């Protein structure tokens, strides 16, 4: 795997599954997509790391995929909640590390959580982008989408920054990110720190960056 990027399986390639897959791929993850409808896979196949046509309510199909090999499995079945529930339960029983299932109503979320989902998400494009950022790497603590392609991220400092000033670290020039704040231990945030501020090991940086640049930076953590 590249740096801290993840191996991801996305089951169900409806609108939300597509948004999630494209965002995950854009951030450098290995993404396998699967759907029982070949037409839904056509446009994503050239970009995905791998793809498969199959019905994931069939345990034999899941066995051929090897669910334990993935860091995160997203169950994005949109039209058939019973299938979503069955697949969520099956992948968890087979040893999936982390299962994130899509729901459209709170009652669905309750059933999914009772049947193996580690987390439940609600579908729209903005949430797909946020999920991609949050589940791609272990080192994004928070994420706020601004305009297309740009966001504010809360990240830990690189090893080379610790004990050095912001000026000495040359963060803006080297990584093309802007430091908006330093979140100190205990959640106090220092807004717009000076160039002479010394970065400590247990602090988080609040940075403004493009998705491409943050991906390059996080590979170094």
On whether both 188 and 132 belong to a single domain, the answer is no
Residue 190 β-bridge partners: 182
DSSP secondary-structure letter at 5? -
How big is the CA angle at 96 (ends 18 and 116), to the nearest 5 degrees?
Answer: 90
How big is the CA angle at 13 (ends 8 and 19), to the nearest 5 degrees?
Answer: 70
- Does residue 2 lie in a domain region? no
Q: What is the pLDDT of residues 154-205, one digit of tens each?
A: 888 888 888 999 999 888 888 888 898 898 776 678 888 888 999 988 888 8
Give the full edge-to-edge strand order of the sheet including 7-11: 50-53, 30-35, 7-11, 72-75, 99-102, 119-121
- Does residue 1 lie in a domain region? no
pLDDT at site 173: 87
On whether both 20 and 72 belong to a single domain, the answer is yes
On whether both 150 and 125 belong to a single domain, the answer is no
On whether both 131 and 151 belong to a single domain, the answer is no
On whether both 92 and 55 belong to a single domain, the answer is yes
The residue among 188, 191, 190, 157 whose CA lies nearest residue 175 is 157
Higher pLDDT, 100 or 217: 100
Listed ranges 113-117, 149-153, 174-178; the one with the highest mean pLDDT: 113-117
Kindly tell me if the per-residue pLDDT of 3 is higher than 60.
no
Q: What's 117's domain CATH number?
A: 3.40.50.720
Where a domain ends, among 136, 154, 188?
136
pLDDT at site 151: 80
Number of domains in the chain: 2
* Encoded tokens for 185: 């231990």
On whether both 21 and 99 belong to a single domain, the answer is yes
The residue among 96, 97, 92, 101 whose CA lies nearest residue 120 is 101
Where a domain ends, among 115, 136, 157?
136
pTM, entire model: 0.61
On whether both 168 and 65 belong to a single domain, the answer is no
On whether both 191 and 98 belong to a single domain, the answer is no
- Phi/psi at 103 (5° precision): -130, 155
CB 180 within 8 A of CB 197: no
On whether both 116 and 35 belong to a single domain, the answer is yes
* Encoded tokens for 34: 């699967």
pLDDT at site 189: 81
Q: What is the pLDDT of residues 4-43, one digit of tens each?
A: 689 999 999 998 899 899 999 988 899 999 999 999 999 9
On whether both 87 and 104 belong to a single domain, the answer is yes
What is the distance between the alpha carbons of residues 6 and 11, in angstroms, rounded to a whole number? 16
pLDDT at site 184: 79
The boundaries of the domain holding residue 153 are 142-218
* Encoded tokens for 92: 């968890």
Produce one character per residue of 190-206: b if its CB has 16 or more CB atoms within 10 Å, e if not.
Answer: eeebeeebebeeebbbb
On whether both 99 and 147 belong to a single domain, the answer is no
User: Residue with structure tokens 């950022």?
Assistant: 133
- Does residue 93 lie in a domain region? yes
* Encoded tokens for 150: 């740009």
pLDDT at site 137: 58
């Amino acid at each position: 795997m590249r740096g801290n990027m993840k191996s991801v399986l996305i089951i169900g390639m409806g609108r939300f599954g597509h948004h999630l897959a494209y965002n995950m791929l854009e951030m450098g993850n290995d993404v396998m997509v699967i759907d029982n409808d070949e037409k839904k896979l056509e446009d994503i196949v050239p970009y995905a790391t791998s793809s498969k046509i199959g019905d994931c309510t069939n345990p034999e199909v899941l066995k051929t995929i090897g669910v334990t090999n993935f860091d995160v499995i997203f169950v994005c079945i949109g039209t058939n909640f019973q299938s979503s529930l069955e697949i969520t339960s099956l992948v968890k029983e087979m040893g999936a590390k982390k299962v994130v299932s899509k729901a459209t109503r709170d009652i669905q979320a309750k059933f999914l959580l009772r049947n193996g989902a580690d987390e439940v998400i609600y579908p729209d494009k903005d949430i797909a982008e946020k999920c991609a950022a949050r589940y791609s790497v272990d080192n994004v603590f928070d994420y706020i989408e601004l305009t297309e392609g740009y966001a504010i991220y809360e990240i830990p400092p690189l090893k080379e920054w610790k004990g050095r000033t912001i000026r000495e670290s040359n963060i803006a020039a080297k990584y093309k990110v802007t430091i908006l704040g330093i979140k100190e231990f205990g959640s106090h945030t220092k807004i717009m720190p000076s160039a002479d501020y010394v970065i400590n090991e247990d602090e988080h940086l609040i940075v403004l960056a493009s998705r491409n640049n943050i991906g390059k930076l996080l590979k170094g953590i």
